[in-house]
Structure 1
Amino acid sequence: MSSNVDILVDRFTWIDYLVFCLMLAVSAVIGIFYGCFGKKQDTKEFLMAGKSMTTFPVAMSLIASFMSAITLLGTPSEVYQFGFIYWLIGFSYILVMPAAAHLYFPVFYKLQVTSAYEYLERRFHRAVRWLGSCLCIIQMSLYMAIVVYAPALALAQVTGLDVYISVSLICFVCIFYTTLGGMKAVLWTDALQTLIMYASMMFVIIKGAVDVGGFDAVWEKNAESGRAQLIDFDPDPTTRHTFWTLIIGGYFTWITIYGVNQAQVQRYLSVQTKQMAINALWINLVGLLVLMITCSFGGMVVYAKYFDCDPIRAGIVTKGDQLFPLFVMDTLGQWRGLPGLFVSGIFAGALSTVSSGMNSLAAIVLEDFVKGGCYPGISDNVATWVSRGLSLFFGLLTFGLVFVAEQLGNVLSAALSIFGMVGGPLLGVFTLGMFFPWANAYGAFIGEVISLIFMFWIGIGHQVARSNGQIRLEAMPTSIDGCVNMTIIEPTFLPTPEPEEALGLYRLSYMWYSATGCFTVIIVGLLVTLVTGKQDVRAIDPRCLSPAVLWFKKWLPGLDGLGEDYINEEEGLKENQSSSSLGSTNPAFNSDMMEKTFNEFVQEKECSKL
């Protein structure tokens, strides 16, 4: 058994290391270019790329930020072990992108925020903003650690390089170019890394499919084992993957990311025009669909290769997340340089996610806790250096949290579970603010806290129940009949008493976590609002509401005079400032874009009186 692994490791030659190091070097050079030779960096340049980016790099970065090593390693493993039905999650993206582009993004664009959580203070209260920011920091820090650990496993499998050396390479290269080059370096390295990611995955999967006899042979082998199931309408919410969990639950999981996540909002606002951001989202949709279907088919190709000799049962690998790297070395190991391309693709996905996370977390802490709290009068020069320091800190924190990530098991479900447990309540509080004008700050804060407690109770309860054997993931059948020249030692299990039945909520599919957390905030928030008194809708800044509310406000009860007091107050301030020739000091109306937005609302108010 060990000799087989050694043979695979030996196939990773100096040429592969050269290809891999070249990718790291190019990423570092991009950071040096924008840090030392590009436009002089201030806070806006470092965090928002000076709002000068175009559609292509932003679209590539949107793909790379969350479709990283988690997707490249986790999806083929998921399909190999549990079947092709996971491909249905791609249809949730078709719902997510229009909603992100037309229901959530316009709010952030009108307000021109740097931190997405500035919205929560404008709509509710500073306490709601700080709570949301803290949750995002926890969510992104854990997610980045998982993203780093996943490719470290891949590199250990194909090269024999120690996992922690791999982790160090990812973290410190990422820290270097992100801290030095800021958002422009992040976006352009993301674009490069996305292209590497696609090229490596496409080549590996096409070559693997050809080797096992083509598409028909791949499908036939998977159909025989039951893995080729395309759809399952089981309404049971405890069934891990069904049509409903993957499309409806998947929608709430991914709208959390593309609708309100800081890393994505920051990218939307780094472009020159609103339409560029919308175009980037549509390009991103196509890219995600292609990548998801490709990776799902990749899992079928892996099964077709190992259908009669399961590497996990044979002891060649220890975890499902190592299956695809093993497949790569079996398929491409004799082609010098190509395994290096694959490892570069895996690392590229990790680098893009971690760099995005570092930059976005720096923006959150600077805007929400430094400028919005302890040091509101900070100079721009000091703020830029604080941003660099925060990027460095979160890079080092990611390195430390890797030791937690390795205890979380399957990287795909672990990552999506974290997004559901933390992201669901965050999505809920933004949705409550944007779609329910009557909701007040008490409802938002209490709803978010209760939702968070509830989701952690479910998530931690699920993990404990799994460790106690009360919940078991039943993988699809595999065979070791075709294993030759190998000593197979099947594990023996001593008889143990049957564990007690787990609480029903603990069995809830992890794909429902975001939806559950979101609706908990909305329901609790509205109930608390009823008890404590509704928000005065006349005093709300209309820009804080989703366009959907403004489209249908005539048909919604209790919205008479929506935003009128706020608009009249701002109009009065504007007239006073104009007459005194001091200019606007209100940050909400401090740009041409805000002026246009303000006038639109004034015109809308006048039209509604006619």
Structure 2
Amino acid sequence: MTTVIEDTETLISRFGWPDYLVFAAMLSLSAIIGIYYACAGGKQSTTSEFLMAGRSMSTFPVAMSLIASFMSAITLLGTPAEVYQFGTMYWLIGVSYFIVMPATNYLYLPIFYKLQVTSAYEYLELRFHKVIRCIGSATFTVQMSLYMAVVVYAPALALSQVTGINVYLSITAIFVVCIFYTVVGGMKAVMWTDTLQVIIMYAAMIAVIIKGHIDVGGLSAVWNANQETGRVEFSDFDVNPGKRHSFWSLVVGGYFTWITIYGVNQSQVQRYLTVSTIKQARNAVWINLVGLSVLLSVCCYGGMVIFAKYADCDPLSAKYVNKPDQLFPLFVMDTLGHIPGVPGLFVAGIFSGALSTVSSGLNSLAAICLEDFVRPFCCVGMSDARATHVSKGLAMGFGVLCFGLVFVASQLGNVLEAALSIFGIIGGPLLGVFTLGIFFPWANAIGAGVGILSSLGVMLWIGVGTQVAKAHGFLKLAHKPYSTDGCRLLNETLDATLADLGKWVSSTIKTSQVQTDVPQEPLAIYQLSYMWYSTVGCCTVIVVGLIVSAMTGLQDPRKLNPGLICNVGNTIYWFLPKNMKEFLRFKVGDDYVPVEEQHDVSKQEKESDKNGEEINPVFMSSNTHLNIEVIAEKTEEIKL
């Protein structure tokens, strides 16, 4: 069977005025939403409105925004390319979602919701020390800035592939529109544009996949083409941590990767707190679980459809595209480019993913910079009106910074692996310090500080070393088999060019076999799968933190605000004997007192949680510290 792939000029010519109209409509609607919330009653004049949407959002837009924040162009472009190259094992990361979301809802979310923080890193000051808070905030700033650069570069590749527009011109367009509606409309504009953009993402992906599915012959043709080349694979249970994708790396490593995002990431925590009740926040997470699972399945199946289309003519080997992330745009233009508006819908969907991620990131970066650095150190006691203006300036400044980092992102290669590696290398230590504080009440501030710095050092060593090893050719990825037997080259010039290239490659190989020594093996740690990065980073913080805490004097749990600690006796360690569970819970004085009885609002919390009403605990404000001695004094007054 002969596969014909049109030349680049023909593909670009298919992107006509209907496609530009669809794409422009998406950008215009995003800008209009920002203008609407800027003008609707002047409600962006306070930091609460600008950063937290007045804590009055409904469940649906919050759920859509949770999906949009981190399932962006990385997913839409990277996941099909991953399945095309390496097979269906990556699909199993969806299993980890079903562990991550319950853990988010019942272990991490309640801590932040009860404290009602603006910056998630306020928790680290309340639990440990202001220095730990600053370290956490600075680490998140680096992480999110790099991530946003990656997710903007990815759709720019897509647009370049289908229209021929310069990559960096399209990047500029993304940032200009995104910064505009983020700064002008605040969190409400961000979340409602996220909702619009998620709908466009789903519409674009489903439309393209359904049409491609029909064209290649349906499910049986797609399945057979992938199965014949060993791409259908779900049963790799290899425990070797160097195995790139296995059941354990995708489920266990995937859990740590995604709980970093949904459990403690500022962008997601900020969204949880824009609703008025914890029940709404939890419902948003459950809806998000369904949306993530559907989107992952659509993207993975899309990779199978693309391979079925090009089973006899691999576009990468035939040099029709230069990078795996360009496979999906090529497929769209080659298969659906002749239908007016469809390429525009696809490009709008890819850009929607980028816009939603960047707008969420800019808003969250502005929030933590204001709360964790500007207010405590630069402008103590400044008015709320001034703080709002500063927040908008910060959002704009971070937009410019991330635009500059795009040039770094262009060197990172596979966008899906690059994005998840960033979250593992930097996000893992952040997850570790929050987990240390929430689940280990005896850990102290010194242990937390040494733990997170040690973990960052270890993970940067692994991450940088791995990139260097790849650059020197020490680490090679084993792709599934390709074929170019069915390629029909479009002109004789290309035939001659490839023939000359083949001769040059053959000559180079022979020369290298004679003159080049066998390269040395890299350190074993550099072969660690990127899916384990978050796990290693988190566990390093916990282990080092507990050891250092033991060496420098354990924290006395009796002096902690109970709202800062998860009731590990009844949750994490529910299976232990009663006396051991009681040891792991709080003690006041010499007698054991259950955690839920340590403050007089427990009954109110339970009822309000049950009924979906707003929780109003004693420690609702992040500036309020629940002090055991104060409770004791109040108790004595009542007795008298």
TM-score normalised by L of structure 2: 0.88
Alignment partners' CA distance in 2, 1:55 and 1:513: 32
The one-letter code matched in structure 1 to 2:587 is: G
2:305 corresponding residue in structure 1: 301
Residues 3 and 593 of structure 1: is their aligned pair in 2 closer, same or farther, counting only changes over 3 Å? closer
The Cα offsets for residues 187-213 of structure 1, whole Å up to 9 and x where unpaired, read as 000000000000100110111011000
| Corresponding residue for residue 35 of structure 1 | 38
| CA distance in structure 2 between the aligned counterparts of 1:594 and 1:567, rounded to whole angstroms | 21
Q: 2:326 and 2:582 mapped to 1: Cα distance?
A: 53
- Deviations along 1:43-87, whole A, 9 cap, x unmatched? 000000000001000000000000000000000000001111110
Task: Give the one of 255, 280, 289 matched to 2:293.
Answer: 289
- Please identify, of 536-545 and 488-497, the stretch whose mean Cα deviation from structure 2 is larger: 488-497
1:310 to 311, 314, 324: 314
> Counterparts of 1:340-355 in structure 2 under 5 Å?
340-355=344-359
**1:36 Cα offset (Å):** 1.8
- Deviation, 1:548, is 3.8
Deviates more, 1:545-554 or 1:271-280: 545-554
C-alpha distance in structure 1 between counterparts of 2:196 and 2:599, whole Å: 45
Instruction: Please give the secondary structure, in 2, of the residue aligned with 1:557.
Output: helix
- Give the corresponding residue for 1:515: 535
> Displacement, 1:476?
1.2
Deviates more, 1:64-73 or 1:539-548: 539-548
* 5+ residue gaps, structure 1: 572-586
User: In the superposition, relative to structure 1, how do residues 474 and 112 fare at CA in structure 2: closer, same or farther (>3 Å)?
Assistant: same
Q: Which deviates the most, 303-312 or 374-383? A: 374-383
Give how far 1:546 is off: 1.9
SS of the aligned residue for 2:314 comes to: coil
Q: Percent identity over the alignment?
A: 60
| Cα displacement (A) at 1:560 | 4.9
Counting only pairs closer than 5 Å after superposition, residues 332-347 of structure 1 correspond to structure 2 as: 332-347=336-351
The counterpart of 1:390, out of the listed 394, 401, 417, is 394
Find 2:525's aligned residue among 496, 505, 510: 505
Aligned residues of 1:103 and 1:548 also touching (Cα < 8 A): no
Tell me how far apart the structure 2 counterparts of residues 556 and 466 of structure 1 sit (CA, whole Å).
Answer: 50
How far, CA to CA, are the matches of 1:592 and 1:365 in structure 2?
Answer: 19
2:149 matches 1:145: yes
CA deviations over 1:98-126 (Å, ceiling 9, x no partner): 00011000000111100000000000000
Q: Which amino acid aligns with 2:564?
A: C
Change (3 A) 1:227 1:106: same
Distance 1:592 1:446, change over 3 A: closer
Letter in 2 for 1:159: T
Report how far residue 216 of structure 1 moved. Answer: 0.6
Q: 1:158 maps to which residue? A: 162
Structure-2 change in CA distance of 1:52 and 1:74 (3 Å): same
Q: How do 1:393-432 and structure 2 match up within 5 A?
A: 393-432=397-436
Give how far 1:590 is off: 7.4
1:12 aligns with 2:11: no
Contact in 2 for aligned 1:470/1:501 (Cα 8 Å): yes
> For 2:91 and 2:249, how far apart are their aligned partners in 1?
12
Alignment of structure 1 residues 197-212 onto 2, 5 Å: 197-212=201-216
Deviates more, 1:479-488 or 1:323-332: 479-488
Paired position in structure 2 for 1:91:
95
Could you tell me which amino acid in structure 1 is paired with residue 29 of structure 2?
V
Please point out which of 115, 135, 138 is paired with 1:111. 115
Amino acid at match of 2:14: R
2:157 equivalent to 1:173? no
Paired residue for 2:487?
483
Paired residues in the alignment total 588
Q: Distance in 2 between matches of 1:562 and 1:86?
A: 48
CA offset digits 1:397-454 (Å, max 9, x no partner): 1110000000000000000001000000000000000000000000000000000000
Q: Check if 1:134 corresponds to 2:138.
A: yes
Q: 1:53 aligns with which of 51, 54, 57?
A: 57
Say whether residues 1:561 and 2:618 are aligned partners: no
> Does the aligned pair in 2 maintain the 1:111–1:543 contact within 8 Å?
yes
* Residues 384 and 550 of structure 1, relative CA distance in 2, 3 Å threshold: farther
1:73 aligns with 2:99: no
Letter in 1 for 2:24: C
Structure 2, unmatched stretches of 5+, are: 601-615, 636-640
Q: Distance in 2 between matches of 1:282 and 1:556?
A: 32
Counterpart amino acid of residue 40 in structure 1: K
CA distance in structure 1 between the partners assigned to 2:204 and 2:351 by the alignment: 11
Change (3 A) 1:569 1:549: closer
| 8 A Cα contact 2:116 2:273, kept in partner | yes
3-state SS in 2 of match to 1:307: coil
Corresponding residue for residue 575 of structure 1: none
Aligned-residue offset at 1:559? 4.3
In the TM superposition, residue 231 of structure 1 has moved relative to its aligned partner by: 2.3
> Letter of the aligned partner of 2:539 in structure 1?
F
Answer yes or no: is the 8 Å Cα contact 1:93–1:285 preserved in 2: yes
Counterpart of 2:243 in 1: which secondary structure? coil
Note closer, same or farther for the CA distance 1:3–1:506 as it changes in structure 2 (3 Å cut): same
Tell me the distance in 1 between the aligned counterparts of 2:41 and 2:31: 14
Distance 2:627 2:272 in 1: 21
Separation (CA, whole Å) in 2 of partners of 1:592 and 1:403: 41
Q: How far, CA to CA, are the matches of 2:5 and 2:226 in structure 1?
A: 28
The amino acid across from 1:338 in the alignment is V
1:560–1:73 CA distance, 2 compared to 1 (3 A): closer
Cα displacement (A) at 1:229: 1.1
Question: 1:570 & 1:132 partners in 2: Cα distance?
Answer: 29
Taking a change above 3 Å as real, the CA distance of residues 174 and 560 of structure 1, as seen in their structure-2 partners, is closer
Deviation at 1:547, TM superposition (A): 4.1
Task: Give, in whole Å, the separation in 2 of the partners of 1:327 and 1:446.
Answer: 49
Q: Deviations over 1:431-484 (max 9, x none)?
A: 000000000000000000000000000011111111111111121111111111
Contact between 1:110 and 1:593, CA under 8 Å: does it hold in 2?
A: no
| Shift in Å, 1:594 | 11
| Cα distance in 2 for residues equivalent to 1:437 and 1:38 | 46
Give the deviation of 1:567 after TM superposition.
12
- What is the rounded CA distance, in whole Å, between the counterparts of 1:590 and 1:245 in structure 2? 38
Question: Does the aligned pair in 2 maintain the 1:30–1:177 contact within 8 Å?
Answer: yes
For the 8 Å contact 2:82–2:303, the answer to whether it is kept is yes
Cα separation, 2, equivalents of 1:594 and 1:127: 17
1:536: which partner in 2? 556
Secondary structure in structure 2 of the residue aligned to 1:15: helix
